[in-house]
Structure 1
Amino acid sequence: MAELFESYASDFAQLQKSIESRLAIDFSSVSNETRRSALRHADAEAEEAGELVSQMEIEVQAFPSSVRDRYTDELRALKTSLEKLQRDIRAKQQPASGLGASGLPLDEYHDNDPEMGQEDTQRQRLLKGSDILERGTQRLAESTRLALDTEDVGANILQDLRRQREQIEHSRDTQKLVTTGIIVVLVLLILLIIYSKLF
């Protein structure tokens, strides 16, 4: 469980770093398409980071009470970081002076802007869904790998226990045989002594 939580936390850290790098772009010096693309990807990554936080909440609930508090504090810190990233993204999405809601200069608006905006929104959703699906697949593969590793460890432990049991049983049988041999020898010695006394 802890391994899976740490894996989620590592993925969150990578997403956080990626989002921060996108938000660090000087949008005043790049094209509007570059600005929209960066914010679009940042928003998708923030949504995925939120899904990771939800998965970690589920994992924490299954932790034993002895370690749950430590991971709860870590999870709380990640939530705070996520909220800050979401605020920063919203702030960057606010249209600058002289720009329309889509981030294009007002003098570049045309009659077909609503249709273009709808296509752009659909493209954003497709990109976001594709990114989320890809990362979800990666997390599933990682979870499967951890489960297989755990299964292998359990199988190895069972094999070791089986070998130890066989060794113990063998030692016990050998001890019984030695004990029986000693008793037989003692009985023969006693009989020999009695015979020598009588005859």
Structure 2
Amino acid sequence: MSEVFEGYERQYCELSANLSRKCTSAALLNGEQKKQKLSELKTGLDEAEALIRKMDLEARSLQPSLKATFLAKLREYKSDLNNLKRDVKKTSSPIDSQAARDELLESGMGDTLMASADQRGRLLNSTERLNQTSDRIKDGRRTLLETEDLGVSILHDLHQQRQSLLHAHDTLHGVDDNIGKSRKILTSMTRRMSRNKYIIGGLIGVLVVVIAVIVYFKIAHK
């Protein structure tokens, strides 16, 4: 939501309600009092137009997802401003002013106040609906941001897990290299043991032959 737009919006709603009351009361006045009231109305209309322009600029500077909502609000306020201008113009016209004054005096201002109340009611209802739409957009945007944060967190966890797996792979590769070296050492030791076994066996055989020859010669010389 745009806090700047909402600030202009509150100012305009207050100004619009005030202008509507002044327009109704101006229809009952004559002479200098009426001129003063009409001057106040024209000044108020200028202020209202300035607020409309500010809201327009602010709405068009927003993101596309929010711009449509605020421009829809702005159309309602522009329509309300046009109605106020017509009421002020009708009040400032001498013939229409007298007719309006007579009508207000005869009816006790009931119809005019009722029409104004209906108009304000429609404006407030439209504003409320647009505010609800804006709230839903805010909720959707907040959910999207939360989902995005969750996705970033998951990606971060997956990255850490990938780093852990790469580290484990490197460790296993190192262990595999060590196992390969150990296997080579054991193979070499096994070969040496086999070679030593054959040498010892040969030596034992030679000793047996020598002992047999010695025993033979001893027996032969007796």
Partner residue of 2:88 out of 70, 90, 94: 94
Equivalenced residues, count: 131
Please give the per-residue CA displacement for 1:61-92, whole angstroms capped at 9, x wherever unaligned.
xxxxxxxxxxxxxxxxxxxxxxxxx6x66544
Percent identity reads 10
TM-fit CA distance, 1:193 = 5.4
Which structure's residues are more often helix, by fraction? Answer: 2
Matches within 5 A, 1:1-199: 5-6=62-63, 7-16=65-74, 18=75, 42-43=79-80, 91-96=85-90, 97=93, 98-100=95-97, 111-190=106-185
Relative distance call for 1:197 and 1:127 in structure 2 (3 A) is: same
Q: Specify the code of the residue in structure 1 equivalent to 2:138.
A: S
In structure 2, the residue matched to 1:67 is none
Relative distance call for 1:146 and 1:15 in structure 2 (3 A) is: same
Relative distance call for 1:95 and 1:113 in structure 2 (3 A) is: farther
Paired residue secondary structure (1:145):
helix
CA distance in 2, matches of 1:109, 1:179: 99
Rg (Cα) greater in structure: 2
Q: Give the TM-score normalised by the residue count of structure 2.
A: 0.46
Structure 2 unaligned regions, length at least 5: 3-61, 197-222
CA distance in 2, matches of 1:90, 1:196: 110
Paired residue secondary structure (1:94):
helix
Q: Give the TM-score normalised by the residue count of structure 1.
A: 0.50
CA distance in 1, matches of 2:153, 2:177: 36
Relative distance call for 1:13 and 1:113 in structure 2 (3 A) is: same
Please give the per-residue CA displacement for 1:83-112, whole angstroms capped at 9, x wherever unaligned.
xxx6x66544422433239xx767766611
Q: Specify the code of the residue in structure 1 equivalent to 2:129.
A: E
TM-fit CA distance, 1:174 = 1.7
TM-fit CA distance, 1:147 = 0.9
Relative distance call for 1:129 and 1:139 in structure 2 (3 A) is: same
In structure 2, the residue matched to 1:27 is none
